[in-house]
Amino acid sequence: MSLKSPSLSSNICVLAPSSVARLSGLCLLFSASLLLGMNSSQAAQAEAPTLDNQKFNACLDNLVQTGPFAGVKDTFAQYRPQQGDPSVLESLDYQPEFAKEPWDYLASLVDEERVLDGINASNQYADILARIESEYGVNRYDVLGVWGVESDFGTKLGKKDVVESLATLSCFGRRQSYFRGEYVSALKILKQGDIDKADFKGSWAGAFGQTQFMPSTFLQLAQDFDGDGRKDLVNSQADALASTANFLKNSGYQPGQPWGYEVLLPASINAKNDRKNKQPISHWRSLGLTLTDGSPLPDSLASAGLFLPSGKNGPAFLVGRNFDSFYAYNASENYALAIAHLSKQIENQDTNVEFATAWPTDDPGLSRKESREVQESLNLLGYDVGEVDGIIGDGTRRAIQKYQADNGLEPDGKAGKKIHQHLMDSSAELRQAAQQAEADETSLESESSIATGSSSSAKNAEAKSDSSGFLQNKSLMAIAISLLILLAIIIVSRRRH
Ligand code: CA
């Protein structure tokens, strides 16, 4: 199954490498888009296609008569969408307006927040991860790397109805035959009862669950690791993480090997970016490559290829077979590097996400915290970016562009450290005022909640005015009864005296 279109490759799965191509239709992903600001709401700023509902229904009538749907006709009928979802076609045709450099791509996917969340996850799921390591031979931190990059450790699973998305993509737009296969697979999953229909939500292209499997990949590789009889990649971390390990294992993952490591290149070397050209480590030693602290290359990898994501003057890596299995997940080298890097930082419990060799730029990418600060500043300065979500999409970039033009800067729309600093300076007073206003509001709310004798916020207190009135009456009654009892005690004790 080939999905080689350049517009697809920008944010989604392209094509599984040869080693895993035998798993037909294994284009797993379409998913990193969940975390990278290439969602349909941003794409929706282009023209919205209108779907011909008659055509959609005629297409579905026709589709269900074809061979692949033979075993799932009842499920098809049960969950047949009333209408298509035009937003998934916008995402299908989405062309990013702004090229993304590797340092921009990495900065938002591997930042301090995600490393900390990964360390927490490694503790919380230590038992499951240990069992996965022994059963599949996949390092726990590599599984965590995929989980973190795919869904931010299960916090962002996508909100599109998988059946509706795939039915739409089966009848409109490019790649219909691919999506028809996924549609059939999705119906099989529902028929098997692994995933509840209400939980069957995902990315615009139908990738779903904690580690964003496409339905066909699910049918081939999903695991029931918690032993409840269902492969529930949405609600069961054990199932999802074991399924991911199973995917990596089937993609040629080698137990006990590191994915690779960052290296230093000697200045004299004529190095080329060619990770597929694996050479014995002795070869790289003889060329003068070392670890970043200058120590000799270890024997943990027998052979490795040189990966230079930004050319000879940026960070350099020797990568082995396990890096290729990350690549198989989403067919993008930068994506594979994000998983590798996150895995390593979680393992080392190191929130400093800089590489030893800096990226060849004077304007590095932004963490999600910095991205949120950029968005907040733009909103405060009157450049509407909408929701502050820490995801730099086209909407934010256009707002940056406008801000740059208004301030005599080159209007390239680039969201890097430079514009971050510029915006922080410009919006300093406004941010301070906004913070003060927020603090005032909070203290007002707490005063009002003290006044009403309730811990609810002002808004909640308003919404609950009936019940709080009732509670107030009850409190008054309780006080009155207490006073009466006290009075009775005093009277009785006086009589005794
Ligand atoms: Ca299960």
pLDDT tens by residue, 409-433: 999 999 999 999 999 999 999 999 9
pLDDT at residue 6 greater than cutoff 50: no
* E strand or H helix at 225: none
CA 133 to ligand 1 center in whole angstroms: 18
Q: Which range among 10-19, 211-220, 287-296, 311-320 shows the weakest confidence by mean pLDDT?
A: 10-19
CA 468 to ligand 1 center in whole angstroms: 44
CA 230 to ligand 1 center in whole angstroms: 4
pLDDT of residue 43: 44
pLDDT at residue 467 greater than cutoff 90: no
Inter-residue contact 37 to 391 (CB < 8 Å): yes
CA 237 to ligand 1 center in whole angstroms: 9
Token representation of residue 375: 């968005």
CATH tag for 368-426 (out of 2.30.30, 1.10.3210, 1.10.20, 1.10.101):
1.10.101
CA 246 to ligand 1 center in whole angstroms: 14
CA 423 to ligand 1 center in whole angstroms: 48
CA 221 to ligand 1 center in whole angstroms: 13
CA 240 to ligand 1 center in whole angstroms: 9
CA 21 to ligand 1 center in whole angstroms: 27
pLDDT at residue 456 greater than cutoff 70: no
pLDDT of residue 460: 40
Nearest Cα to 97, choosing from 413, 416, 418, 309? Answer: 413
In terms of C-beta distances under 8 Å and separation of at least 24 residues, what long-range contacts does 11-14 make, across chains too?
11/36, 11/38, 11/94, 11/96, 12/205, 12/330, 13/214, 13/330, 13/331, 14/331, 14/332
Neighbours of ion ligand 1 (CB under 5 A): 224, 226, 228, 230, 232, 236, 239
pLDDT of residue 20: 38
Q: What are phi and psi of 291, to 5 degrees?
A: -65, 170
Q: Which range among 57-66, 183-192, 217-226, 480-489 shows the weakest confidence by mean pLDDT?
A: 480-489
* E strand or H helix at 262: strand 260-264
CA 276 to ligand 1 center in whole angstroms: 36
CA 294 to ligand 1 center in whole angstroms: 46
CA 202 to ligand 1 center in whole angstroms: 19
C-alpha neighbours within 13 Å on the C-beta side of residue 322 = 26
pLDDT digits (tens, 9 = 90+) for 252-285: 999 999 999 999 999 888 889 999 999 999 999 9
- pLDDT-derived band at 496 (thresholds 50, 70, 90) equals low
pLDDT at residue 442 greater than cutoff 90: no
Token representation of residue 43: 């794409």
CA 494 to ligand 1 center in whole angstroms: 72
Q: What are phi and psi of 342, to 5 degrees?
A: -60, -45
pLDDT at residue 71 greater than cutoff 80: yes
Q: What is the largest CA-CA distance in the chain?
A: 107
pLDDT at residue 385 greater than cutoff 60: yes
Q: Which range among 375-384, 392-401, 457-466 shows the weakest confidence by mean pLDDT?
A: 457-466
**19 or 143, greater pLDDT:** 143
* Burial grade of 68 (CB within 10 A; 0-12, 13-18, 19 or more): middle
Overall average pLDDT of the 119-138 stretch? 98
Token representation of residue 175: 């790649």
CA 243 to ligand 1 center in whole angstroms: 11
Average pLDDT of every residue of the chain = 86
CATH code of domain 260-347: 1.10.530.10
pLDDT of residue 173: 94
**Sign of torsion over alpha carbons 145, 147, 153, 157:** positive
pLDDT of residue 42: 47
Which letter does DSSP use for residue 40 in this model?
Answer: H
CA 131 to ligand 1 center in whole angstroms: 15
CA 22 to ligand 1 center in whole angstroms: 26
Q: What are phi and psi of 208, to 5 degrees?
A: -145, 165
pLDDT at residue 454 greater than cutoff 60: no
pLDDT at residue 18 greater than cutoff 80: no
Which letter does DSSP use for residue 64 in this model?
Answer: T
Token representation of residue 286: 């003889």
Overall average pLDDT of the 314-334 stretch? 95
pLDDT of residue 489: 63
Overall average pLDDT of the 438-458 stretch? 67
**Strand, coil or helix: what is 104?**
helix
CA 233 to ligand 1 center in whole angstroms: 8
pLDDT at residue 375 greater than cutoff 70: yes
